[in-house]
Amino acid sequence: MNNHMTDYSSDCIFCKIIQGKLPARKVYEDDLTMAFWDANPTSPIHILIVPKTHIPTLNDVAQDDTLMCRIGQAAQKIAKDFGVAESGYRLFINVNRGGGQVVFHLHAHLVAGNDVGTFFIKAAIGTAILWRKLVSFVKGPKR
Ligand code: 5GP
Ligand code: ZN
Choose between 124 and 73: higher pLDDT. Answer: 73
Query: Could you report the per-residue pLDDT of 78-91, keeping only the tens digit for each?
Result: 999 999 999 999 99
Report which of 107, 117, 109, 67 is spatially closest to residue 90, judged by C-alpha positions: 109
Q: Which atom of ligand 1 is nearest to the CA of 40?
A: 12
Phi, psi of 58 (to 5 degrees): -60, -30
What is the reported pLDDT for 61?
98
Q: Which domains does the chain have, with CATH numbers?
A: 13-112 (3.30.428.10)
Query: Could you report the per-residue pLDDT of 107-128, keeping only the tens digit for each?
Result: 999 999 986 666 666 677 778 8
Phi, psi of 128 (to 5 degrees): -65, -40
Q: What is the mean pLDDT of residues 43-48?
A: 97
What is the reported pLDDT for 2?
47
Cβ(100) to ligand 1 under 6 A? yes
Strand partners, 35: 28, 49
Taking the centre of ligand 1 as the mean of its atom positions, its distance from the CA of residue 76, in whole angstroms, is: 21
Enzyme catalytic residues: 107
- Which residue puts its alpha carbon closest to atom 18 of ligand 1? 39
